[in-house]
Amino acid sequence: MTTFLPESIFKAYDIRGIVGESLTEDIVRQIGLALGTVAQERGEHSLCVGYDGRLSSPTLAAALTAGIADTGTNVIALGMVTTPMLYFAAHYLAQTSSGVMITGSHNPPPYNGLKMVIAGETLSSEAIQALKQRILQQQFAQPPEPGKQSFYDIYPAYQAAIVSDIQLARPMRVVIDCGNGVAGAYAPALFKALGCEVEPLFCDVDGHFPNHHPDPVEAKNLQDVIRTLQTGEAEIGIAFDGDGDRLGVVTKSGQIIRSDRQLMLFVEDVLIEQPGSKVVFDVKSTRHLSPFIREHGGKPVIWKTGHSLMKAKIKETGAAMGGELSGHLFFNDAKAGKPRWFGFDDGLYSAARLLEIVSRSPDASAVLEALPDSVNTPELQIAMQEGEPHAFIASLQQSAPFPDALEVITIDGLRVEYADGFGLIRASNTTPVLTLRFEAEDETALLRIQQAFKQVLSNTRPDLKIPF
């Protein structure tokens, strides 16, 4: 029985901690016991298990497998795969619609964690807290014999599914930067199979991440792609995070196309096939999305940030697709009445869809750079003590002190809409910080909106270090 179960590892979207400290082999084994038990209760008798390229991942996967098997649940080992390949296996394999991925995603090297799908549901929030309670109470299945273990190579079926779905209008030369994450084991081969000439960067899997951190949201991590595009013959650059579920895109001129702008490119394509469909996007995303979706015959749905929360909302609303500023894109659309993908976030599939669209033009970069844009900030952060951010935001939501706003959206923090821009403040669900983002038609409007937020923050908590 474990006597050490840190509260901090049970996040809103996944389980995550520092290996050997807050996330040990024993804790992961007990999480396996909880997951195997929940799977059995939901009528699932097998679970897929995959792991990323981090140094600690194989050992933690073994501990997880042992825990799951001890509940009598069978384990289908996928080996080292991307997180989307684990999700794909849960759709593709007849034996199960459940899986667990050992991954630290884009977090620093000492971290690792688990992303979990049980009976087709990506676990989040209350379901993750319920796992914690089950472990604390040691409420596990006690079968007469352990589950069986087998291995399945999912990549051939995964590649075949993408290659059969995607048709490029012409060959393309592409820079692919995997940041030494697990996508490097698969991305070059996949894009060559699609007909691309690939210039690989850091595609050897190395859990030390010796070149740059595998997080394409940070501009500093895309500088190698930008330099390679400027000096080479490739026409577009794509980058993936540590577990392959997020996408970064760079044009020939070095412009970074964030995923909320990418979403407009995809929306236009998707709504031709499915007019009137809903499109879900998170509160961080550009203000251009709602009018763009409406103009193209769709129905915009703004929602909470978080990959598991987004997937749940897409499933609930039947949306054709969704996207987040963080690089997660979710395709749930159909063509000629036949589903194209499965509604989960997949950086490699998203990149393939993007290339399919831009390959129809002789100048891929021009297509991307023509997407609507505004003056905007990256995500800004204000550090607080553990437990403070959500209470602070709840207090702000009660007063909503923005008298000049057109609208204040409170589904996830406060997104304050003005005629010429918006400001957002929300509590991070992963670290004890407030995150802020601003967007406006011009610098003058941006500064005015920031000043309104600064005034509210200073009046509420004068001690806060405001980064603008």
**What is the DSSP track for 87-116?**
HHHHHH-TT-S-EEEE--TTS-TTEEEEEE
Q: For Cα atoms 265, 266, 272, give the angle at the middle one, nearest 5 degrees.
A: 105
Q: DSSP assignment, residue 23? A: B
Same-domain status, 134 and 18? yes
CA–CA distance, 154 with 172 (Å, rounded to integer) = 26
Range list of H helices, 124-186: 125-137, 155-165
Task: Examine the domain organization and report whether 11 and 109 are in the same domain.
Answer: yes
For the chain, how many structural domains are there in total? 4
Chain centroid, CA 170 distance in Å:
29
Same structural domain for residues 27 and 144?
A: yes
User: Does residue 1 register a pLDDT over 70?
Assistant: no
Per-residue pLDDT of 321-338, as tens digits, reads: 999 999 999 999 999 889
- 226 with 268, same domain? no
* CATH number of the domain that residue 116 is part of: 3.40.120.10
Is 114 found in the same domain as 25?
yes
Region 251-263: what's the mean pLDDT?
A: 98
One domain, residues 143 and 161: no
pLDDT in tens, 401-454: 899 999 999 999 999 999 999 999 999 988 889 999 999 999 999 999 999 999
185 plus 251 within the same structural domain: yes
* H-helix or E-strand spanning residue 445: helix 443-460
* 214 and 263 fall within a common domain: no
The per-residue pLDDT for 399 is: 85
Residue 459 pLDDT exceeds 60: yes
The reply to whether 115 and 12 lie within a common domain is: yes
Q: What per-residue confidence (pLDDT) applies to 3?
A: 55
Residue 116 belongs to a domain: yes
pLDDT at residue 12 in the model: 87
How do strand 74-80 and strand 46-51 relate by DSSP bridges?
parallel
Q: Which positions are catalytic?
A: 105
Tell me if 466 is assigned to some domain: no
Out of 27-41, 52-66, 144-158, 381-395, least confident range: 381-395
Could you tell me the pTM of the whole model?
A: 0.96
Domain boundaries, position 307: 257-346+357-368
Mean pLDDT of the chain, nearest integer:
96
* Same-domain status, 149 and 171: no
Main-chain phi, psi angles of 116, to 5 degrees: -135, 135
pLDDT of residue 2: 47
Alpha-carbon span 46 to 66, nearest angstrom: 13
**Cα angle value 181/342/353 (rounded, 5°):** 65
